[in-house]
Amino acid sequence: MKSEEAKTPRREFLETCGKSLPMWFVFLATIRAGTLSATEEPEVYDPKQHDYAMGIDIHKCIGCGRCVNACKIENKVPEEPYYFRTWVERYVIPADGEAQVDSPNGGRDGFPELKTDPDMRRAFFAPKLCNHCANPPCVQVCPVGATFSTQDGVVLVDETYCVGCRYCIQACPYGARYLHPVKKVADKCTFCYHRIRNGLLPACVEVCPTQARVFGEAGRQSSPLRRFLRFNDVTVLKPSLNTNPKVYYAGADREVR
Amino acid sequence: MSVRKIPQQLVPLALIFAVALAALFIARKLLVPATFGDIGYYRAAAVGEIASQPIAYAGSRACLDCHDDVDQIKRQSKHRSVSCEVCHGDAAKHVEAPDQVKPIKPIGRGYCPLCHGYDPARPTGFPQINPDVHNPGRACMSCHNAHNPMLPHAPEECAACHRQIASQKTVSRHATLTCTTCHETPEGHRSTPNLIPAEKPKTKELCGRCHAQGADSPPEIPRVDLETHGGRYVCWDCHYPHFPEAAR
């Protein structure tokens, strides 16, 4: 009698134990996560909390080319001409006819003298760089996953994994990429990712003497970029391509593409 | 029992499948880099590798620790927004070893015109000179202190600051007019141009001194009737006085 009475509760007990097992796992996992987050350092960099972008004020650019120089030094861009992560173009718009654009050595050594021509309507400088598109065509076409958008909104190239097929260079509508002549991999502006992760400004922004370049985060109230976007009529290059560039231009003529 | 029910020809096939699957897993393990796909379709470790590259430009805050005296001068001057490393070059190595590595000091005439040489593409009002005619042969530093570029003496010509307007005027019909013909320039404007601005003409009558019907001026100068021409607008709403289109 006694043994038969005991049988049923034991089975029930084991069944209840089995059913409650997942709940125990959840309970333990929450405790673990709780203790971990409590011991975590508050200053850990969370890429999801950032969304980097740049603003460029055409009215302020004096075309000194210091940004091009700083970029080449900071990122060890090949010295030979025609390899640039950022460069400055000079636009000369005549009263009639095509706009003239020149960028000798990316504007690094200054620009040749421009004669004051009565037929010249106006002229200005336009710094160019990778637009760090939110919808980047270069990332779409990479066959091996060597170029990618980071969680903090920067488009990077993994130089140890790139096979140098040049497909991304063809796909970029802004001509922002080049094939590194020594490493034989695609190379481009990183927003100076090694600097911004350490709380510094990108080298081109750091040395811009007129603050024509503004770096920050569009989603952060305290960011200087927020102010730039509020007080300027901004445009992006080639908006029709739906690349959603994150380099915003203030005062850019429609000739700038 | 149940093994015997499987058709015999399937056993080698299953073996081949098992070997192929194992080969696939081994190949993936060997060929796909570690951390690939952890965040997205890329090697997650690459983000950290790129973020840990060496820094060349230290940033202007690093300079303040030792060179506060220079900063005190510079922050009051027109060059307050110009970071130290614009002229002195990348200085991260200098910050690490201040005595061994010295930053560059641009001297002579080559460097300053990168910003201050005349180029019509530069924004209006940005101080520009023509390096060929502006004190040729003399180093910029012999008159200007780069940390406080304001001159010890006031500029003698308007073109020292208003280069773009001056260049335009020299090729126009108004080339022979001096700036003070139309602009009354108080004495203080030369030394403190932002505090004491030069006067700009306010009424049509100033242009009328030469261009009115009855004006006492050479007969080849075009005349208009000040009462009717242009209605309620002033002359410079339509004509640019530094380059009047009548020159063409």
Give the closest of B59, B119, B126 to A114, CB-based: B119
ipTM of the modeled complex: 0.78
A112 and A194: one domain?
A: yes
The per-residue pLDDT for A92 is 93
Partner residue opposite B121 with nearest CB, options A124, A149, A197: A124
Do residues A121 and A67 both lie within one domain? yes
Q: Is pTM, for the whole model, over 0.90?
A: no
Q: What is the mean pLDDT of residues B115-120?
A: 90
pLDDT at B3 over 70: no
Q: How many domains does the structure of chain A reveal?
A: 2
Q: Is B11 helix (H, G, I), strand (E, B) or coil?
A: helix
> A146 to chain B: which residues are within 8 Å by CB?
42
Q: Do A148 and B42 touch (CB under 8 A)?
A: yes
Name the β-bridge partners of B224. B212
Determine, for residues B56 and A203 on separate chains, whether the beta-carbon distance falls below 8 Å: yes
Shared domain check, A111 and A9: no
pLDDT of A21 strictly over 90: no
Contact B56 A74 (CB under 8 A): yes
Q: pLDDT for B35-86, tens place per residue?
A: 999 999 999 999 999 999 999 999 988 999 999 999 999 998 889 999 999 9
Which percentage of chain A shows pLDDT scores above 90? 71
Average pLDDT over residues B144-166: 80
**Residue span of the structural domain in which A40 resides:** 1-44
Q: Is residue A38 a part of any domain in this protein?
A: yes
Check whether residue A6 and residue A100 sit in a common domain: no
Instruction: Sketch the domain layout of chain B as residue ranges.
Output: 60-152, 178-248
A158 touches chain B (CB under 8 A): yes
SS3 of residue A247 by DSSP = strand
Confidence of residue A116 (pLDDT cuts 50, 70, 90): low
Q: Is the pLDDT of residue A1 over 60?
A: no
List residues in chain B touching A: CB distance below 8 A: 33, 36, 39-43, 46-47, 49-57, 59-60, 79, 81-83, 85-86, 89-90, 113-115, 117-123, 126, 167-168, 171, 243, 247-248
Where does A95-158 show beta strands of DSSP type E? 100-102, 120-129, 147-149, 155-157
Among the partner-chain residues A59, A74, A193, the one whose CB lies closest to the CB of B51 is: A193
pLDDT in tens, A149-160: 999 999 999 999
Q: What are the residues facing A234 on neighbouring strands? A: A250
User: How far off is chain A from B10, nearest CA to CA, in Å?
Assistant: 37
**Cβ-based contacts of B36 with chain A (< 8 Å):** 145
Q: How far apart are CA B56 and CA A55, in angstroms?
A: 23
- Are residues A242 and A131 part of one domain? yes
**Chain B CB within 8 Å of residue A64 CB:** yes
The answer on A91 and A23 residing in a single domain is no
Average pLDDT (B240-244) is 87
Give the gap in angstroms from C-alpha B52 to the nearest C-alpha of chain A.
Answer: 6
Asked if residue A184 is part of any domain, the answer here is: no
| pLDDT above 60 for B101 | yes
- Flag whether A166 is in a domain: no
Q: Are residues A25 and A61 in the same domain?
A: no
Contact status, residue A217 vs residue A78, Cβ threshold 8 Å: no
